[in-house]
Structure 1
Amino acid sequence: MDGLPPAPITSLTPELAERLREQTLDVLSYLVKTNSTTTYFKESAVLPRFRAALHLTDGSQVDALDLSATELFEVYHNNVGLSVYEDYLPVISRFFEHPCNKSSVENLMAPGLPVFIAHSSGTSGGAAKYFPKYHHPEHMSKAMAETIRRASPPSRNGEGKNCITFSLAYRQIITPVDEVGNIAKQIAVCLLSSGLGRKESNMPVERDAFSSTLRVPNCSSPIAVSFISDYKSFLFMHALFALVEPNLETINPIFTTGFRDLCRTIEDHWEDLIHCIETGVIPDINGIEAVKDNLQHFLQPSPDRAEELRRIGKATETPGWFRRIWPQLRAILANASGPFATLIPEIRHYTGPDVSIQSVAIVSSEAFLAVAYDPRDLNLYKVIGSDDVIEFLPVDEPEESKYLAQSWNVESGRKYEVILTTRDGFWRYRLGDVIEIVGFDPRDGQPLIRYIERRNMHIRLANEVTTETQLRNVVDATSDLFGRVSEFCVSPDYRQAAARYAFFVELQGDPGADISATPAALHDQLKKHNENYLKDSRMGKIGVPCVRVVQPGTFGDYRAWVIRTKGGASGQVKVPVVIWSEADRTWLEEHVMYDI
């Protein structure tokens, strides 16, 4: 492969360590000088020691203080504790007051009014969280810019297209009003990807009617598709316009689960899609009424392409079927690490060996953490550290700020929780994601990481705590018995005297010949990976797991249900590895074909 990165180094030279230290000090200096004027900084109960140490109680400005970058870092390090979302909620909630007064929300977390407010997917076991996103100068947006660049690569021959399945839908519009009642700005509450798409393409919500008439030259789908809220209709339209385009080079569904849902859409609606291509008629399907005319404008009859697709046929059993549909297809750009890795075999069946699967970045609603380092390794990322201060809390130390490590003194092979001080006004915020340091980039010293798990994602029925990673490992270890597992999640099962784990499993293809042995095999693996699980099972507190095989397409339908009933957004609903919600468990139980 051309353009491969150099092999990681396991320790930093003094020169590289100093380079990382200088970068962190520069970013911190900017963040403190910029955001110390905000309402949150001045009012937060998390920051009084920091304010006092900076002598800001008299209203003076940080940039007027006689502090070097090194001194400022020491004050920050010693006086800012860890924070969680609940610390910010009382302030962020001001955006959702009625009326929303401009004077109450201007300069709230960072200077000015937000460009948009990102909401989390709300699928990690709780309600959605909200993160105001502000305008920042170019030198504070390098990680964001690099992520965007990788998500939409240029065509190799100048004629290729990308299928990017991002949504422009929003949850609501916030309209701060000034002292005379005039609307100061319309602020969309939406996914991070939606807000960035609007920002980078200059598509504010005020121009949605016009934007929905456009088409980005290198994209297969017209922009109108991105305004469809119904998940299944959203996928159908992306599939339709992708099939029209024989020169498709890349597909970017953000997560592997989104690609799998797109594959299923093409498979399930093959004849309908070809009929649309042949006739050039957009069908009447749910949720497209507002943009149907705009969609119709971009779909012209193409009987030759329809005939070509019919000759190819719905060859779902043939490995590499998609390369016959799109001979130039070269890459699937999707997060394929952590819980998204189980879908890789199914994706490779559709694409064949000549289409690469490439992770793009680790991005959360809070920040841009890292970009993919080596295209051959789907779970190897490079920390950027140019937009925010990224610190590392060892998972084997007390959860206190004094134990934080910096990019220049983290240790290879050690696991850390990521802690963020962001350009958008969050201070030593606990992201909750656990990563492992696996080395450093020899060119600039930046840490190289692997995503491990969510720190708070686990299941506990007795004295055991079984983590997300352990659950994935036990499924991987028993995969030969299952057949091919496409997706799974785990939930408590109380139908017997001893509580047990219920594995909801969707298979790719037929079940394995020895699938009846999976409950006992999962039980053995859980005991092997978790000493407390072993003890509790011996004491009769935990029973042998049950395996509940769900109907094909269930997890895609689950994502559509979440979007429809819980205000999620197309393309970014994640199924948590552990599900506690009674409503979610009931929904899954209704789709069980049989228990093992």
Structure 2
Amino acid sequence: MPTIDEELDRKSHLYSLIMPVMNQFLPNLQNGKGMYFLFVKSESKTPSGLPARPVLTSYYKSRHFARARAYTSPTETILCNDTHQSMYSQLLCGLVLRHEVLRVGAVFASGFIRAIKFFENNWTSLCKDVRNGTVDHRIVTDPVDDTSSSPSWRGIIPRVWSNCKYIDVIVTGAMSQYIPAIDHYGGGSLPLVCSMYASSECYFGLNLNPLCNPDEVLYTLVPTMAYFEFLPVDRFVEKIKLVDLVDVKLGQEYELVVTTYAGLYRYRVGDVLRVGGFKNKAPQFTFVCRKNVVLSIDSDKTDEVELQTAVTRAAVQHLAPLGASLVELGLSVRFG
């Protein structure tokens, strides 16, 4: 996706709005730190020499992110290309500063679960390093996990990070499958917060009621992020006119269309949103699904929501009686 330096200013502005919103519900968050598991991915260059890399990697390497020092992880640990070393180092820093941690999270729920699983597999080495003020030699030489485990990991987050007030992860859409696992690690006492809605093409908006239940999340789009238009979802009409943000109707589903400052013109993002309410006169949207079909058999098309519902229901009916559970349902997802 094309981007320009000015876009990072807008994204940073949206990030800066999250804490004032959260402070309305959980005051004094600025007095502590956030333990967020953030990672970069490999990058390349186009034939003309332009950098090509994931949008989050671009942000983490920018001057805008360098100013945000409310994290337990030093920038060097986030920019480490070795995922194992980066994960270990970020967890180690989070443990050392555990009394300062007021919130924990990751961009996606799946990434947060991987981090806690990593903690579960490496807790003995991490505890030894915290106790001795050292860094395990394998972080430099041998990226292999040990297999030690604790008798019980239920509620491990509030037990270790006792001042933590919430878990900040995206658990809407396809990520909702991770809610039971995150609640397990959170002990059922920490709210799950979906703070923002974004994608590689553009950052869209915020959740102004962050302590709501995951199935009640509504995102309010910020009009200065891009020019937003909406394509009504109607399977029986071929030609449908685009609708402006001010003209969307309550309860109607739309496909999101954006025109960005970076050069995308009337780009169909592929997300289907439903108007769930209004904040003053600003419409608020719930994320429904990705528009692309994930399963098609003999002309019988199944979308993301239907597939996830069917698999989850089957897991409850057939796996739960056997003491088993669904680990992961692989679906493509957005930030929201």
Same fold? TM cut 0.5: yes
* Contact in 2 for aligned 1:147/1:360 (Cα 8 Å): no
- Taking the aligned partners of 1:575 and 1:272, their CA distance within structure 2 comes to 31
- Taking the aligned partners of 1:228 and 1:158, their CA distance within structure 2 comes to 26
Whether 1:249 and 2:102 are equivalent positions in the alignment is yes
Partner residue in 2 for 1:481: 317
After TM superposition, give the deviation of residue 240 of structure 1 in Å: 1.6
Partner residue in 1 for 2:322: 513
Query: SS at 1:386's partner residue?
Result: helix
After TM superposition, give the deviation of residue 479 of structure 1 in Å: 4.0
Aligned residues: 318
Whether 1:406 and 2:244 are equivalent positions in the alignment is yes
- Taking the aligned partners of 2:70 and 2:164, their CA distance within structure 1 comes to 14
* Contact in 2 for aligned 1:419/1:429 (Cα 8 Å): yes
Matches within 5 A, 1:193-208: 193-201=56-64
Partner residue in 1 for 2:2: 131
Q: Deviations over 1:121-177 (max 9, x none)?
A: xxxxxxxxx333332697xx3x65123442797893765221122234541256968
Q: Deviations over 1:463-508 (max 9, x none)?
A: 200111101111333343255xxxxxxxxxxxxxxxxxxxxxxxxx
Q: Which runs of 5+ in 2 are unaligned?
A: 142-148
Letter paired with 1:362: Y
Whether 1:262 and 2:134 are equivalent positions in the alignment is no
After TM superposition, give the deviation of residue 254 of structure 1 in Å: 0.7
Q: Quick check: which one's strand share is greater? A: 2
- Taking the aligned partners of 2:37 and 2:181, their CA distance within structure 1 comes to 19
Whether 1:465 and 2:301 are equivalent positions in the alignment is yes
Structure 1: which 4+ aligned runs deviate by more than 4 Å? 151-155, 173-177, 397-400
Query: SS at 2:246's partner residue?
Result: coil
Partner residue in 2 for 1:66: none
Partner residue in 2 for 1:67: none
Letter paired with 2:126: L
Query: SS at 2:220's partner residue?
Result: strand
After TM superposition, give the deviation of residue 332 of structure 1 in Å: 1.2
- Taking the aligned partners of 2:52 and 2:135, their CA distance within structure 1 comes to 29
Whether 1:189 and 2:52 are equivalent positions in the alignment is yes
- Taking the aligned partners of 1:149 and 1:201, their CA distance within structure 2 comes to 14
* Contact in 1 for aligned 2:293/2:301 (Cα 8 Å): no
| TM-score relative to the length of structure 1 | 0.48
Change over 3 Å in CA distance of 1:374–1:242 after alignment to 2? same
* Contact in 1 for aligned 2:171/2:194 (Cα 8 Å): yes
Change over 3 Å in CA distance of 1:157–1:251 after alignment to 2? closer
- Taking the aligned partners of 1:239 and 1:457, their CA distance within structure 2 comes to 38
Whether 1:383 and 2:221 are equivalent positions in the alignment is yes
Query: SS at 1:424's partner residue?
Result: coil
- Taking the aligned partners of 2:8 and 2:184, their CA distance within structure 1 comes to 43
Letter paired with 2:163: Q
Change over 3 Å in CA distance of 1:168–1:326 after alignment to 2? same
Structure with bigger gyration radius: 1
Query: SS at 2:87's partner residue?
Result: helix
Change over 3 Å in CA distance of 1:460–1:273 after alignment to 2? same
- Taking the aligned partners of 2:69 and 2:5, their CA distance within structure 1 comes to 28
The percent identity for this pair of structures is: 20
* Contact in 1 for aligned 2:34/2:70 (Cα 8 Å): yes
| TM-score relative to the length of structure 2 | 0.82
Query: SS at 1:512's partner residue?
Result: helix
Q: Which runs of 5+ in 1 are unaligned?
A: 1-129, 178-186, 204-214, 290-312, 484-510, 516-548, 556-573, 579-596
Query: SS at 2:268's partner residue?
Result: strand
- Taking the aligned partners of 2:69 and 2:151, their CA distance within structure 1 comes to 30
Aligned residues: CA RMSD: 3.2
Partner residue in 1 for 2:201: 366
1:150 to 6, 18, 25: 18
Q: Deviations over 1:515-563 (max 9, x none)?
A: 7xxxxxxxxxxxxxxxxxxxxxxxxxxxxxxxxx89x7xx6xxxxxxxx
Change over 3 Å in CA distance of 1:217–1:388 after alignment to 2? closer
* Contact in 2 for aligned 1:216/1:223 (Cα 8 Å): no
After TM superposition, give the deviation of residue 188 of structure 1 in Å: 3.9
Q: Deviations over 1:60-89 (max 9, x none)?
A: xxxxxxxxxxxxxxxxxxxxxxxxxxxxxx
* Contact in 2 for aligned 1:416/1:435 (Cα 8 Å): yes
- Taking the aligned partners of 1:383 and 1:324, their CA distance within structure 2 comes to 36
* Contact in 1 for aligned 2:256/2:272 (Cα 8 Å): yes
After TM superposition, give the deviation of residue 340 of structure 1 in Å: 0.6
Whether 1:240 and 2:92 are equivalent positions in the alignment is yes
Whether 1:172 and 2:44 are equivalent positions in the alignment is yes
Matches within 5 A, 1:13-412: 130-135=1-6, 141=10, 145-150=13-18, 156=28, 159-173=31-45, 188-201=51-64, 217-247=69-99, 248-285=101-138, 314=150, 316-317=152-153, 319-375=154-210, 376-378=212-214, 379-396=217-234, 398=237, 400=239, 403-412=241-250
